[in-house]
Amino acid sequence: MVEKRLSTKTQVILTLIFILVMALLLWWADKGFDSYKQRVLRLIGIYAIMAVSLNLINGITGIFSLGHAGFILVGAYTAAILTLTPAEKEMSYLFGIQPWIKNLHADFFTATLAGGAVAAFSAFLIGWPVLRLSGDYLAIASLGFAEIVRIWANNALTVTNGPLGLKAIPEYSTTWWIYGWLLFTVVFIASLVYSSYGRALKAIREDRIAAEAMGINVFKHQLMSFVVGAFFAGVSGSLYAHWLTTIDPRITTMGPMLTFYILIMIVLGGLGSITGSLIGAAVFAILFEWLRDLEQPFSFFGIQVPGIPGMRILVISALFIAVMIFWQRGIMGREELTWNNLYKWFFGRKKEGERS
Amino acid sequence: MSEDRVKQLEEKVAELEVEVNKPILILDHVTMQFGGLIAVNDFHNKVIKGELLGLIGPNGAGKTTVFNVITGIYYPTKGRIIFDDIDITPFRPYQITHLGIARTFQNIRLFYDLTVLDNVLVAQHHELSNPDADRILIRNGKPPKNTKRFWFWRAVTKLGYISKEREMVERAKDLIERVGLSHVMYEKASALPYGEQRKLEIARALATKPKLLLLDEPAAGMNPKESEDLMEFIRKVRDDFNVTILLIEHDMKVVMGVCERIIVMDYGKIIAEGTPEEIQNNPRVIEAYLGKEWENV
């Protein structure tokens, strides 16, 4: 019995062609789009990194973590502190600054890596006690972690500049940086997920007792997944900071709201599907920007609707409820959009009930 | 033949006999207590290499608890467990699996959303990722199962990994073929009928390359014909894969046909031990299963 599939060589060539086409499209978009559309395009890339990394933790490993914004915040602050020059920092820190923080300076790439590394390290520290919990308890504990980090950032005046936040961060996040990092994230996580380690993580998601009985060190693997996910969250945080150019520890910038946005993306795309996360991030980012018009006064079938701030969140929530009712496992479910699956859908349709 | 030579040969035979009758697992006065409930009470017995041993008893006799103690899910209140000359009492379940004990569950616990092939592949993962369990093996003078390191980075970068993956897939496919599941290789485990799920669970346990296989009520929920087939399958597994099997069974009839030696438990204690014939005629066993009224019939 042979499954209908493409050879590895064909798949690799198709993937390379796909990446090339995407790069060309991005190049075209980068040149042709106005600055608003460019910013949305970049936001899609950043959201995609956040979604793919949270998907590794929540969708693949089945750890219900709500602490993603915490890692993003850690990465964002680390990177922003590194890319601001000592003179700029002296200007914006009104309450004084720790001298060692003032003198830290690095280029954007190093800063992003450092952001990822610090986020990964904090995931290691927090994962050690928290991953002994499971289910709802873990969700609450990780949410607690994210809040602690945010409130710490709000109060550690000489390190993070407190509620004033960091301003005038250079806008280093170009389309190329963001999509380069996105490519690296997807390749890294897909490579991990479609290896023996990924199978072990999925096994833990399915049944942790059976996974442990099959010789998998459940705690170590969960911690590994948590740390890898947090690393890319930190990276996305750095990109986000250099996209926003201003970061502060308010709930709406990098607080629980951001975690829930990412959660919506991955559930919309399909928990456990990397391509689903990418689609979910794109759909969410585009909808979120497009629905901005709803917050202006508009007329709906002749009815005048005044501008209501927060209207788009209402509409997105309603849409989300509809998706969850009719499409419970999200757009992709746990399937991936691979060349093989495309090939199967177009050419290799099996008859219903037939076993290959 | 000289007398010396005869003596030499006799010694050799005795040595071999010891080797043949060598216990692979020793439960040394194991007691497991949950608060006021003594689930397993002073369990003292052994499993001989290569045998097919049955552990039977009425509901709630403590059979599954014995399994959970052996596989490290519970830490026994008293006593030690020695497997293959290593005291495994303090180890965690994944370490014990790495050392060579695999198990199935009473209520099937497959990775339902994974394919049959992936289910079996997962069971080979421990060879890459258990350096601490390998250290236990080395400490006890046994060869480790994995000699290379940094498998995580190999898996991510694919450097020096692809050949290992190919070997794992090949081994898994071979195993699936041997247990007769190759027609459902790429189906999700949840799509399998009950009997095949049972088989897959046994196959998955075999993929960890165990020396001792623990089967927890493999025939539960099966009709007589199915359970007879399954027992045939279990016997075949023992011979083909060269493993020792310890089998829990609730239904006496099923176990009589397949096991060479049977231990009967009731209220956490061993009440009888012997060949199927001996067990069948043991009054204490009959009493445990049918109650005292049996005498009055």
Structural element, H or E, at residue B25: strand B23-34
Nearest-angstrom CA–CA distance, B199 and B197: 5
- Alpha carbon separation from A262 to A57, A237, A265, A325 (Å, rounded): 12, 13, 5, 19
pLDDT score recorded for residue A349: 57
The answer to whether residue A155 neighbours chain B at the CB level (below 8 Å) is no
- The yes-or-no verdict on residue A6 having pLDDT over 90 is no
pLDDT score recorded for residue A32: 86
Nearest-angstrom CA–CA distance, A257 and A250: 10
Which of these ranges, A230-234, A327-331, B209-213, has the smallest mean pLDDT?
A327-331
Mean pLDDT of B210-235: 88
What's the pLDDT band for A355 if we cut at 50, 70, 90?
very low
- The yes-or-no verdict on residue A4 having pLDDT over 80 is no
- Alpha carbon separation from A60 to A63, A204, A271, A317, A348 (Å, rounded): 8, 9, 7, 25, 27
Strand ranges, E, within chain A: 298-300, 303-305
Which of these ranges, A100-104, A127-131, B108-112, B286-290, has the smallest mean pLDDT?
B286-290
Mean pLDDT is highest, among A231-235, B58-62, B217-221, B245-249, for A231-235
pLDDT score recorded for residue B119: 95
pLDDT score recorded for residue A351: 46
Mean pLDDT, chain A, rounded, equals: 89
Nearest-angstrom CA–CA distance, B55 and B37: 21
Mean pLDDT of B66-92: 93
The answer to whether residue A203 neighbours chain B at the CB level (below 8 Å) is yes
Mean pLDDT of B197-218: 93
φ, ψ for residue A73, nearest 5 deg: -65, -45
- The yes-or-no verdict on residue A326 having pLDDT over 90 is no
Sequence ranges of the domains in chain A: 11-251
pLDDT score recorded for residue B210: 94
And the tokens for B26? 């020793």
Structural element, H or E, at residue B29: strand B23-34
Q: Give SS3 for B261.
A: strand
Tokens 């390998």 locate to B134
Mean pLDDT of B53-76: 91
Q: Are residues A197 and B152, on separate chains, in Cβ contact within 8 Å?
A: yes
Ordered DSSP codes for B83-142: ETTEE-TT--HHHHHHHTEEE--SS----TTSBHHHHHHHTTTHHHH-HHHHHHHHHTT-
Give the pTM: 0.90
And the tokens for A69? 């914004």
Nearest-by-Cβ selection for A213 from B103, B165, B185: B103
Contacts of A46 (CB under 8 A, 6+ apart): A173, A178, A236, A239, A240, A243
Q: How many CB atoms lie within 10 A of CB B210?
A: 21
Contacts of A180 (CB under 8 A, 6+ apart): none
pLDDT score recorded for residue A65: 92
Q: Are residues A191 and B156, on separate chains, in Cβ contact within 8 Å?
A: yes
pLDDT score recorded for residue A356: 36
Nearest-angstrom CA–CA distance, A102 and A151: 21
Higher pLDDT, residue A191 or A252: A191
pLDDT score recorded for residue A317: 87
- The yes-or-no verdict on residue B133 having pLDDT over 60 is yes
Q: Are residues B187 and A355, on separate chains, in Cβ contact within 8 Å?
A: yes
**pLDDT tens across B156-183, in order?**
998 889 999 999 999 999 999 999 999 9
pLDDT score recorded for residue A348: 65
Tokens 């009493």 locate to B287
Supply angle C-alpha B249, B252, B256, rounded to 5. 100
Q: What percent of chain B has pLDDT over 70?
A: 97
What's the pLDDT band for B295 if we cut at 50, 70, 90?
low
Q: Please, which residues 23-42 of chain A have a Cβ atom closer than 8 Å to chain B?
A: none
pLDDT score recorded for residue B257: 82
Distance between B23 CA and the closest CA of chain A, angstroms: 23
What's the pLDDT band for A3 if we cut at 50, 70, 90?
low
And the tokens for A81? 């502190």
pLDDT score recorded for residue A352: 44
Mean pLDDT of A273-279: 94
And the tokens for B81? 């467990």
Mean pLDDT of B14-19: 74
Structural element, H or E, at residue A146: helix A135-155
Q: What percent of chain A has pLDDT over 70?
A: 96
Mean pLDDT, chain B, rounded, equals: 89
pLDDT score recorded for residue B13: 82
| ipTM summary value | 0.88
- The yes-or-no verdict on residue A140 having pLDDT over 70 is yes
* A·B CB contacts under 8 A: 117
What's the pLDDT band for A286 if we cut at 50, 70, 90?
very high
- The yes-or-no verdict on residue A353 having pLDDT over 50 is no
Q: What percent of chain B has pLDDT over 90?
A: 58
Distance between A147 CA and the closest CA of chain B, angstroms: 31
What's the pLDDT band for B289 if we cut at 50, 70, 90?
confident
Nearest-angstrom CA–CA distance, A191 and B156: 5
Which of these ranges, A56-65, A163-172, A331-340, has the smallest mean pLDDT?
A331-340
- The yes-or-no verdict on residue A33 having pLDDT over 90 is no
Q: Are residues A217 and B94, on separate chains, in Cβ contact within 8 Å?
A: yes
Q: How many CB atoms lie within 10 A of CB B266?
A: 19
- Which residues in chain A touch residue B186, judged by CB atoms under 8 angstroms apart? 3, 356
**pLDDT tens across A179-233, in order?**
999 999 999 999 999 999 999 999 999 999 999 999 999 999 999 999 999 999 9
Q: How many CB atoms lie within 10 A of CB A234?
A: 32
- The yes-or-no verdict on residue A43 having pLDDT over 80 is yes
Alpha helix segments (H runs only) across A56-106: 68-83, 86-92, 99-102
Quote the DSSP letter at residue A350. P
Mean pLDDT of B108-126: 94
Distance between B114 CA and the closest CA of chain A, angstroms: 8
Indicate the CATH number for domain B22-291.
Answer: 3.40.50.300
pLDDT score recorded for residue B287: 83
- The yes-or-no verdict on residue A2 having pLDDT over 60 is no
Q: Please, which residues 206-225 of chain A have a Cβ atom closer than 8 Å to chain B?
A: 206-207, 209-218, 220-221, 224
Contacts of A30 (CB under 8 A, 6+ apart): A38, A41, A174, A175, A176
